[in-house]
Amino acid sequence: MMKNLTFLRIIFKKVFSFIFLPQRPQKTHKVYKGKVVFRDTLIYLPNIFLLAIALVMTSCQSVHKPGNQKQEKVDRYALVNRHPVIVTSFDTMSSLSVGNGDFAFTVDPTGLQTFPAYYENGIPLGTESDWGWHSFPNPHHYSLKDVMKNYQVDGREVPYVTAFKSPERKKLATEWLRENPHRIDLGKIGWDIRNENDSVISMNDIRHIHQKLDLWTGEIISHFTAAQEPVTVKTVCDQQEDEIAVHVQTHLLEEGRLAVKIRFPYASTQWDNACDWNSPDKHQTIILISGANHIVLKRIMDTTVYFVRLTWKGGAVCRQIKKQTFEIIPDKKDSVFSFTCSFSQHLPQPNHDDFDSTEGESSAAWKRFWTTGGVVDLSGSTDPRAKELERRIVLSQYLSRIQDAGIYPPQETGLTYNSWYGKFHLEMYFWHESHFALWDHVSLLEKSLSWYQQIASVGRETARRQGYQGIRWPKMTDPSGRESPSPIGPFLIWQEPHIIYMLELCYRDRPNKAFLEKYKDLVFGTADFMASYPWYDSLTKKPAFAKASAGRYVLGPALIPAQERYNRDSTINPTFELAYWYWGLSVAQTWRERLGLSRNPAWDQVMDHLSPLPVQQGVYLAAQSFPDTYTNPRYTTDHPSMLMAYGFLPLTKMADTTIMRATLEKVMKVWNWSGTWGWDYPMAAMTATRAGMPEQAIDALMMPVIKNTYLPDGHNYQRSNLRCYLPGNGSLLTAIALMCAGWDGYKGPADPGFPKNGKWKVRWEGLKKMP
């Protein structure tokens, strides 16, 4: 303290003398037409006085403001290169991917997709894009009208899309509408390697594997021997086009024993395998263009059409060896060969891309990614969990960049393989994408915002059909924005305010009127629905199913909360959704005020009279209608979403910090954590961080349960049929941003989510505060 006061006295003395002593003209300069021009300039005392005040205030801030302490600059190159992914065997849980956010390509240790069947029950070797979708024929013209059912809400009938098991037409309509459209695998690209007797090699013939994912350059380098011959393969992805580039060096080329094989499957709705290899007659692959060093193929699957362009450097021939299968056979003149393969919705234009140019462009793009935006360095920490946490952070940054940064919200398994038919779940949108804004890569988040504008009319029709105002966003959907039949999805509401939250995060990065004007209709349309959705429970009107809050606006029934364990017909006033409703409407009002508009009285009416968060014995319940939240085993699994009312959300008048601390302690003690999901641990860590409980934040974040497993390649494992789970990776990054940078108005110690026990050395750059 004395040192700080002495420093301030010295600063003040120097500034005081500088202000009041006569000043000489000062040499200043400016840049004019590329040249530095000097000129004599008098420094005026009023400006100096302002400068003095600024210096003193800055000095005070550096001493007292948390997070502003001067710290050693992070060596970003060293940080990223501490965590390369190394593969030394055919490990089904260690396949590696390259990608650009809209497209990803996953490989085995050969650097291509040579043995995809072996990986079907691991991290599959997929080739997926944001634009690659297919629908099976619909000769019976199934539509949402076939799967509508009315539910009672405040004395009126409200139609919902739901799932039917009978009668037959409704059952078949449910199945077709859930399964279509589905994401497709664009094609498998692998090596055709031969033994000396011309037999195709097996996995057992691949030895001495050493494969590395170089995170800094986004390149996979694969070394192995095949039929006792050394092979080196480099695999990269173009960062602008949906294209891979591959370079191979081996004497097998000179012996004519290595070729490139490209196979195209028919679409499949199988849970984790988008490939049907048993229906070659149901689709076509047509050679459109064939040249000396390139070929363009047209793919036709029912109404889905896309194009594949293959180019190569050096002598080679491309031939069709059977239906839907092609092969590039290099000349025997050299031990080096390279090729590119691009996929596109439209006929590709001729280009001059080759491996070298693609590799250079990709490396430069990845360097830009790692040298800008946020990073977190935990080296020097002595807590035994620190090294693994840093690994998870870095790999999650890479995976989110290649899997989640597309033009649409991601599916839960990204662009690796299909889950839920490749459709995206909008309640997961926040976990997938919010970290891009918090880690100063907001442009990657903005890519998917325009999709909300494209489907706003669909959401307005849903709200109108149900008797509400504004825009009701779907839960499980596809590029069309159409809701999918489900006994759960259409009754969720916590995806509704997400778009407000995401736009607010973007606005904080770019606070200007143009941004507000561009997206105001999404914010206001969302708020209009949120204000019209609750029903008003007057003093004389009591529902039979539960004791609602008289004289208050009520959420539910015909509602399933984020914790998907509760009955849609009896759930009212879930804690998190109440808090989110209030906060979302308050942010929408702030947007109106920023635009010079008056507050919307209907929104204020709901905010002022929204039901309070349900409390019992000093802790928050999951919902007002379920007082057995902590005693019924069914209700102590899945997401402990009551924690999100303060953690995921900032503090509002709806929540009480003392009650939330007690709730967190209760949840940590009684919850069945083996029945939770990958984003629950970061979510709990966020609540612990805001509640001033950093030890519990780290304990939650690193909880030793199966669904908090991070595989060698960085994927968040959940269960046998959900081996990667991108909401886990994204939520980790969001939580870390909060744990490091804090939130608006926070005035405590730096790095609020990390214990102050001397075991954690936290250095970070480029992170943004949360609201």
Q: E-strand spans in 378-453?
A: 424-425
In this prediction, residue 549 carries a pLDDT of 60
The rounded distance, in Å, linking the Cα atoms of 761 and 755 is 10
In this prediction, residue 426 carries a pLDDT of 98
Sign of CA dihedral 286, 291, 292, 294: negative
The rounded distance, in Å, linking the Cα atoms of 674 and 676 is 6
CA-nearest of 102, 98, 104, 106 to 123 is 106
Full DSSP string of 83-109: --EEE-S--TT--EEEE-SSEEEEE-T
Report residue 357 CA to chain centroid gap: 29
The rounded distance, in Å, linking the Cα atoms of 408 and 472 is 18
Model confidence pLDDT, tens digit, residues 355-388:
999 999 999 999 999 999 999 999 999 999 999 9
Residue 360 has which token pair?
């250079």
Return all residues near 314 (Cβ < 8 A) that are at least 6 apart.
Answer: 293, 330, 331, 333, 334, 336, 337, 338
Return all residues near 356 (Cβ < 8 A) that are at least 6 apart.
Answer: 338
For residue 165, which phi and psi values (nearest 5 degrees)?
-105, -10
Sign of CA dihedral 645, 650, 655, 661: positive
The rounded distance, in Å, linking the Cα atoms of 728 and 680 is 8
Model confidence pLDDT, tens digit, residues 156-215:
999 999 999 999 999 999 999 999 999 999 999 999 999 999 999 999 999 999 999 999
Residues in the chain, pLDDT under 70: 1-70, 539-549
In this prediction, residue 407 carries a pLDDT of 98
In this prediction, residue 538 carries a pLDDT of 86
Burial of 304 (C-beta count, 10 Å sphere; 0-12/13-18/19+): middle
Residue 209 has which token pair?
């594997």
Look at residue 551 and give its three-state secondary structure. Answer: coil
The rounded distance, in Å, linking the Cα atoms of 226 and 219 is 21
In this prediction, residue 72 carries a pLDDT of 84
Look at residue 543 and give its three-state secondary structure. Answer: coil
Cα dist from 619 to 572, 629, 663, 667, whole Å: 17, 10, 5, 10
> DSSP class of residue 74?
P
Sign of CA dihedral 205, 209, 213, 216: negative
Contact call for residues 726 and 400 (beta carbons, < 8 A): yes
Taking the alpha carbons at both ends of the chain, their separation in whole angstroms is 31
Q: What is the 3-state secondary structure (H, E, C) of 601-636?
A: HHHHHHHHCECCCCEECCEECCECCCCCCCCCHHHH
Instruction: Tell me the one-letter amino acid at 450.
Output: S
> DSSP class of residue 194?
B
| Residue matched to tokens 């319940």 | 621
Instruction: Tell me the one-letter amino acid at 689.
Output: T
In this prediction, residue 45 carries a pLDDT of 31
Instruction: Tell me the one-letter amino acid at 531.
Output: A
Full DSSP string of 448-497: THHHHHHHHHHHHHHHHHTT--S----SEE-TT------SSGGG--TTTT
Contact call for residues 533 and 493 (beta carbons, < 8 A): yes
